[in-house]
């Protein structure tokens, strides 16, 4: 236990002192619970802070915010609060029990001692607690034999209805398997399969399902092993009964995840689901694709991308394979794609597709004109959208190598002239 005590001391000293001061003043016991003690034991990493208070969590949060100079945001229905403005996120909850009125719905909560609060949780490994309010020795409370489960690599659920009450825990389980190197034990796996077969996911909202699935597909660690577990436990059919994922698809996604790491940074954040869904959508027709987007309550701004993600990829593959394709045609099909789709192209292992994609990344994509629209206006052209079109045509001529940088102005002027001639004829 000495190791853990040392690590607990690494918690920001000011924060620790503030917690102790407030808990002693209010006479409440305060514990660090869930992910933080789990990760401290398994990897020494200290993640988000979840505190449980035996007492009034909201009152504690308000008092702590005062001492630390942050703000407390209350979620009274659940007896929880979030402290902000401290550099790190701090969640504070009243020790509570939960009662699920109906499966997959949000629970009703009631105050309780810590030991009962721990028993309502998803897996034993998330039940470790470290009392912070008292000061050293920061003993680890292990009321559910979590340390033994960790030693044996086991993800064990704490009660038989756990997955029926909250089926997102099955998805969390797969995420923990991959991230923590543990494995659902036989009973948990049996319960997971039974919950899926009994339709535990039917009542789960699209938002919650999407959040958990997307979180599961974040591009860290082995995305293939998580996907293959999804398939094994029958969870792909939760998204759509027609979804299929072959061994080849898994290899493709795995390679693409590696390619993605080597791609130059972009303004858009990398999102693992955008790597996976274009592949998954290869097994769905248009209607099933729409139903899947509906089931996941895909955000309106992502819906068109998702529905077209496979079609756009396939179209790009076709153009990249065509022996007659010119650089400007390659640029046209690759430019609208997201980085995740570019990674899928690189991972396809098809020589023309890979060669064109690499050439586009290294050379074509960044080609920009020396000519500007202002120069065309200065040369007597009327400002308007035709200038933009002439610039695009000029860039495409540069990509194809049919003009050099010196020839840009002349080419753009002749484009504008022929466009106005055509317009005059119509
Ligand atoms: N929890 C649960 N069932 C859920 C979600 C959460 O029982 N569906 C419990 C777990 O005990 C978990 C705690 O609530 O440890 C806090 O949840 P959260 O912060 O989401 O998870 P962490 O375990 O901290 O995981 P991560 O490190 O991935 O955030």
Q: What is the pLDDT of residues 64-89, one digit of tens each?
A: 999 988 888 988 877 789 987 666 67
pLDDT of the residue at 150: 97
Q: Can you tell me the mean pLDDT for 123-150? A: 92
User: Scanning the structure block, which residue is given the tokens 């860290």?
Assistant: 220
Q: What is the pLDDT of residues 177-233, one digit of tens each?
A: 999 999 999 999 999 999 999 999 999 999 999 999 999 999 888 999 999 999 999
The CA 34 to ligand 1 mean position distance, Å, reads 6
Partners of residue 53 on adjacent β-strands: 30, 94
Going by CA atoms, what residue is nearest to atom 18 of ligand 1? 35
Distances from the Cα of 9 to the Cαs of 20, 137, 231, in angstroms?
A: 13, 9, 42
- The single-letter DSSP state of residue 421 is H
The CA 345 to ligand 1 mean position distance, Å, reads 36
- Is the CB of 169 inside a 6 Å radius of any atom of ligand 1? yes
- Is the CB of 34 inside a 6 Å radius of any atom of ligand 1? yes
Look over the chain and give the mean of its residue pLDDT values, rounded to a whole number.
Answer: 91
Going by CA atoms, what residue is nearest to atom 26 of ligand 1? 35
Contact 85, 69 (CB under 8 A): yes
pLDDT of the residue at 266: 81
Going by CA atoms, what residue is nearest to atom 12 of ligand 1? 34
Give the sign of the dihedral formed by CA 184, CA 190, CA 196, CA 201. negative
pLDDT of the residue at 2: 45
pLDDT of the residue at 136: 79
pLDDT of the residue at 131: 92
Radius of gyration of the chain, Cα coordinates, nearest whole angstrom? 28
- Is the CB of 79 inside a 6 Å radius of any atom of ligand 1? no
The CA 237 to ligand 1 mean position distance, Å, reads 25
* Ligand 1 atom closest to 39 (CA): 27
Residues 6+ apart with CB under 8 A from 415: 389, 390, 393, 394
Domains of the chain: 1-150 (3.30.460.10), 241-366 (1.10.3090.10), 373-425 (no CATH)
- The single-letter DSSP state of residue 87 is S
The CA 331 to ligand 1 mean position distance, Å, reads 44
> Global pTM?
0.89
- Is the CB of 96 inside a 6 Å radius of any atom of ligand 1? no
- The single-letter DSSP state of residue 53 is E
Mutate which of 105, 121, 123, 143 for ligand 1? The one with the most ligand atoms within 8 Å of its CB, which is 121
Confidence band for 421, pLDDT divided at 50, 70 and 90: confident
User: Scanning the structure block, which residue is given the tokens 């004109």?
Assistant: 369
Q: Which of 114, 108, 97 is nearest to 52 (CA)?
A: 114
Residues 6+ apart with CB under 8 A from 221: 178, 179
């Amino acid at each position: 236990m000495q190791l853990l005590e040392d690590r607990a001391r690494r918690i920001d000293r000011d924060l620790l002192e503030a917690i102790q001061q407030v808990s002693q003043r209010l006479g409440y016991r305060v514990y660090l619970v869930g992910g933080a003690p789990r990760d401290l034991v398994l990897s020494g990493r200290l993640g988000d802070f979840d505190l449980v208070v035996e007492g009034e969590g909201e009152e504690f949060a308000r008092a702590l915010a005062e001492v630390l100079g942050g703000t407390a945001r209350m979620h009274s229905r659940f007896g929880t609060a979030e402290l902000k403005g401290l550099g790190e996120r701090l969640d504070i909850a009243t020790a509570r029990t939960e009662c699920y009125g109906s499966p997959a719905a949000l629970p009703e909560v009631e105050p309780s001692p810590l030991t009962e609060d721990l028993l309502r949780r998803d897996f034993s490994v998330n039940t470790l607690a470290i009392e912070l309010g008292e000061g050293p020795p920061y003993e680890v409370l292990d009321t559910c034999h979590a340390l033994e489960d960790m030693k044996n690599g086991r993800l064990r659920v704490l009660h038989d209805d756990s997955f029926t009450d909250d089926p997102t825990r099955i998805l969390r389980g797969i995420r923990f398997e991959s991230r923590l190197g543990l494995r659902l034990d036989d009973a948990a796996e049996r319960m997971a399969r039974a919950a899926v077969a009994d339709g535990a996911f039917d009542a789960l909202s699209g938002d919650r399902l999407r959040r958990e699935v997307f979180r599961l597909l974040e591009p860290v660690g082995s995305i293939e092993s998580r996907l293959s577990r999804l398939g094994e436990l029958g969870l792909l059919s939760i998204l759509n009964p027609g979804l299929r994922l072959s061994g080849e698809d898994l290899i493709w996604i795995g390679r693409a995840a590696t390619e993605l790491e080597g791609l130059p940074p972009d303004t858009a954040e990398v999102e693992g689901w955008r790597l996976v869904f274009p592949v998954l959508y290869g097994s769905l027709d248009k209607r099933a694709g729409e139903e899947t987007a509906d089931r996941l309550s895909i955000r309106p701004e992502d819906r068109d991308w998702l529905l077209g993600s496979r079609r756009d990829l396939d179209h790009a593959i076709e153009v990249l394979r065509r022996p007659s394709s010119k650089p400007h045609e390659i640029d046209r099909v690759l430019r609208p794609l997201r980085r995740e789709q570019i990674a899928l192209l690189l991972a396809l292992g098809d020589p023309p597709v890979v060669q064109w994609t690499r050439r586009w990344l290294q050379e074509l994509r960044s080609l920009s004109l020396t000519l500007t629209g202002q120069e065309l206006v200065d040369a007597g052209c009327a400002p308007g959208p035709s200038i933009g079109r002439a610039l695009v045509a000029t860039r495409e001529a540069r990509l194809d190598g049919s003009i050099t940088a010196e020839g840009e102005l002349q080419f753009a002027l002749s484009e504008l002239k022929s466009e106005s001639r055509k317009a005059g004829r119509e």
